[in-house]
Every structure is written in C-alpha cells, then in structure tokens.
Structure 1
C-alpha cells in the first residue's frame, strides 16, 4: 500500500513567518479539527502509523497555505526523505504567490536537485488561478525535469479567497499546455467531481487523489461523488490514488472504510497502491508497471 500524500510532520516544519488569518483557519478547525491534529503529528507518530497499518511507502508533501518559507519546507522534506529512502519520498513547494515566474521555476529545479519527486502548489490559498501565468515557469520546469505537480482542487475551508480559482477547466488548460506533465488533483475536485473525472479521462497524465476524505462518502450515492464511484472500476481504474492527508485523516479509518466499500479486490489493489507505484516510481516503489493498458474504451 502507498499513501500518496501525508503532511510534513510538525516537528520538521519551519516556524511560520506570519500568523494565519482567522478567516483562513477558523473553518478548518471547525470542520476538520486540523489544529489539534497537526499539533500531535510528529515524525515518530507518522512512522508508527505507517508501520502499524502496513503502509509500504508514503509521499511527504511540503504543502503550505501561507506564512511558511518554501525553501525551508523543501529542505526539511528532503532531509526527512533522505533519512527513510525506502519508506518515504517527497514533494516540495514554491513560494506563494511567486514573486516572479522565474523564481518559481528555480524553486522547482532546487526540489529536483534535492531528490524530491514533485512539487505541491495550492493556488486558491494565494488568490491565484491554477492557470496563473506566474505558475507557468514552474509547470514548464517540472515537465522538463520529469517532476510531478500536485495541485489543491475543489473546496477548501479558507474563507479568504473563492474556490473558483481551482475549477476543473483550469486544470484541463494546464494539461493541454503541458501534455507531458503529470498532474495530481488533490482531494479529487469536489464539488466538480464529474468535470474532474472528464479532465482525467481526457488526459492520461492527470490523476485524482482522495486525501483528507472519508471513503465511505466517496462510494455513497448522493454525496456528489457518484460519477467517480462509478468510474473507479473501469474508466479511471488506473488514475485514482489513495491518500490520507495525514494527520487530517488517519490510516486506520481510511483503510477500514475502503475495505468496507464493496469495491472488488482488483480495484482496491490499484487504488491502494498499484496506481501510485506506476506514477511515482520512487526508490521504495521499484517494480512498478504502467497503467496505460488499464484505460478503458468508452
């Protein structure tokens, strides 16, 4: 099993340069109790959870919603991954909003030089569209270097900027402009699930990742996930990734709910690890196979 996204533990995160605005954090605490979860999310807690639940590999994301130094986050992530190269791989990030497009491109290059396999970008938290031109140098450099770009998509609980910055047609545009760039839509793009499924169907380079979500609601009719639930077994079998966004969602509950979801073993095998092994190809994930043969005809 592979967890496609966990957060950089609190005891490795640099000190925030500025306090998050109340409008940015209040709903996160109300809906997800994120403040309390993050306070106990140490390296030791992460390693214990991975081993306890037989997670063979996890991808640590240096994601930032503002107020942290991106270079320091990247350095801390690279150091943690270097300590556990078989168990962990890492995604860096870029300063948001980027002072210039060139600076974002240079930070992507630095992530590659540090041995990270991708970058995590959260446009809406900086009031930016996914297609903001200041991000295009980062996309171009990532495509050139073979790095993966993970983007926050869909609803977020910050009330500072509108979530329209991450609508599916914007990710579709980036996939058109960078046809060899592998893109991960973090959180699966709810409430625009059907449209995000269409983007992934159009582009074999686009993956939908389900971190921070309750699996029982993903497969429950009427929750807005119906299209994706229907495509997990067929059209998007090879393009959906298991993730927890740990510590936002714990491994025990996530795995229990996926195993109780009623999905057939073949689908669970791909979802819980096979697709990630194909996408990431990290040191701990050798022996992966391509998912290209799993794309079904309409």
Structure 2
C-alpha cells in the first residue's frame, strides 16, 4: 500500500493540532503538576536527550502542532487524510482540583465550521458536573452536528463502570452516538487501575446498544482490550496515543486478524498526521485490513 492509496480518517486528533491554543494557554497547562510529572518521568529521557528543560517541554508538542486550521488541512491533503476528529478534551487535574485541559462546545463548533466538512466534532464529559455535561453533549450533537463523546476516566478518578458515568451512556444511546474513552494507563501520574479495559465489560451488558470505542490501546492490559472488543458486538478499539511503529505485537496481530480488522480504528492523538499514517501503512498487515482501519471502520462506527 502507498501513502495516498487511502483517504484516511483520524478518529482521535486534538483541537490543539488545529492551532487553537495560544502560547499562554500552553504554558498554563504545562504548569499543572500532572504535566510536569509526566515530562520528568514518562518523557524525561527523551527531553533530556533533546536538551530541553521540563518546564519547556510544552514547546516540543506545540512545535509539532499546526498554527491554523488551514495549515492542518494542507497537511491532510499532502498525506491523504480526509477527516480528523477533535473533541472538548476534558481532563481533570487531581492535584489542582480543576480542569487541566478543556475546550468549549463553541470552540469545537468553530473548528468544525472552519474545516468545511473535514473536521468532525466531539463533546466531552465531566462526571463532577453531570447535568451540565449532558446539556453540552446534547447541544453539541443537535446544534453543531457532533458525532461522538470522548472522556478521560483516569484523570477524574472514576472507572468506566462507575455510576457517575452511567448518565453519559444513557445520553449517548438516546442520541445514537458512540462513547469513546481512554483505556490503559496514562503518561501522567494518574491511577492506572481505573483504566483497565475490563471496566467496559459490565457497561456493555447494562447498555447492549451503546457503541463504545476504547482508546489508547489499553496497554498494559492489551489482552483485556482485545477481549472486550472480541466479546461485545458494539465495543471497538482505537490505537491513538501510540505511534504505529511502537504498537505491541499482540495489537498488530489482532489488527491483522478477522476481528480486529473490522473493529479497530486509526487515531493519532495529535502525534502527527504524516508520521502516524506513514507508520500505519508500513505495518506488516494485509492491505485490505489497513484500509478498513484507516477509513472504512470509522465510517461505519461513527455513521459518517
């Protein structure tokens, strides 16, 4: 397969990748305890090799992002990406007891409008503000055409099976949209156990018609991630947040098999459209599977 053979769909890009964040906003986010701990721990070795101080780590990410929607669309044209998904990205700081990242419904709607059909909007979920979040989800879908919700159990401290998450699932079923959430551990120092993919098991039984997308590969519980996707007809997986070249072999094998080929979607987590697509194309899996993962599955799951 060649790079331009498939017009891919990035089912988990980031609003920041479209140039929505200012330098002041980057710096404010980077001062959060969780961000600083991540760059000293998870990403510390990489930054040290680059000669970058932890407090300046935001510059590495910001430099990879685009300065505007127009610049992002240009890259999409150059590497064969038809659409990207961006959401409110509501992530909680356990240390500071406030949202560490958060975009408003209006900000995402503005990106969708500027994207002229190539940016798909998604809502977020704050289990500390259930009624407010549900209003935003409904408004995003009905007023601005949002296609999904993405939320971050690890940072809020609630497993996906917690009662505080159930109102969201009911709303997603009512609106007919998928609910996406992170599984596995986080780069930041957040409780890992909360992200176990197996937490989706009971949810899938209580909401048999809910479409769930388990993002971030579920690592280090890859077998659980695969199990949930294999076991439940409306549970899917997203490989975003890992470069395809860094995916663990069981994940690649699953993508190359009869179940994974129909139930896994591609996402970048804002790690770069060009690199992430090139590396996916280079994976040792069948070309027809690559096409499904890069494009076809997303069209079916998100009703594009």
**TM-score of Structure 1 vs Structure 2, range by shorter chain:** 0.7 to 0.9
Contact 2:29–2:35 (8 Å) recurs in 1: no
Q: Distance in 1 between matches of 2:156 and 2:11?
A: 24
| Aligned residue in 2 for 1:228 | 251
**8 Å contact kept, 2:172–2:178:** yes
Unmatched tracts of structure 1, length 5 or more: 219-224, 283-298
Q: What is the deviation of 1:94? A: 2.3
The one of 207, 211, 219 equivalent to 1:178 is 207
Q: Are the equivalent residues in 2 in contact too, given 1:104–1:137 (CA < 8 A)?
A: no
SS of alignment partner, residue 11 of structure 2: strand
Give the counterpart of 1:12 among 7, 20, 34.
Answer: 20
The residue that corresponds to 1:49 in the other structure is 75
Moved >4 Å (runs of 4+): 13-16, 18-22
User: Does structure 1 retain, via aligned residues, the 8 Å contact 2:216–2:241?
Assistant: yes
Question: Would you say the 8 A contact 1:9–1:46 is kept in 2?
Answer: no
Equivalent residue, structure 2, for 1:24: 34
The answer (yes or no) to whether the contact 1:131–1:170 under 8 Å persists in 2 is yes
Q: Deviations over 1:138-161 (max 9, x none)?
A: 1101111011111011121221x3
Which residue of 2 is the match for residue 296 of structure 1?
A: none
TM-score, normalised with respect to structure 1: 0.82
1:149 has 2:175 as partner: no
Q: Deviation digits for residues 28-56 of structure 1, max 9, x if unmatched?
A: 43528762244342334422321221101
Which position in structure 2 is the counterpart of 1:121?
A: 151
Matched residues, number = 270
Q: CA distance change for structure 1 residues 214 and 162 in 2, over 3 Å: closer, same or farther?
A: same
Which of 137, 162, 170 in structure 1 is aligned with 2:167? 137
Moved more, 58-67 or 139-148: 58-67
2:80, 2:87 → 1: CA distance?
20
- Secondary structure of the 1:170 match is helix
Is the partner of 1:154 in helix, strand or coil? coil
Q: Which residue of 1 aligns with 2:241?
A: 212
Alignment correspondent of 2:264: 240
Deviation of 1:4 (Å): 0.9
Name the SS for the 1:5 alignment partner. coil
- Closer/same/farther in 2, CA of residues 229 and 69 from structure 1, 3 Å limit: closer
1:258 deviation in Å? 1.8
Whether 1:62 and 2:88 are equivalent positions in the alignment is yes
Question: Which structure: greater helix fraction?
Answer: 2
Distance 1:6 1:37, change over 3 A: farther
CA spacing shift, 1:136–1:51, aligned 2, 3 Å: same
Matched residue SS, 1:184: strand
1:197 aligns with 2:197: no
Indicate if the aligned counterparts of 1:91 and 1:118 stay in contact, CA closer than 8 A. yes
* Gap change, CA 1:168 and 1:68, over 3 Å in 2: closer
Partner Cα distance (1:260, 1:226) in 2: 14
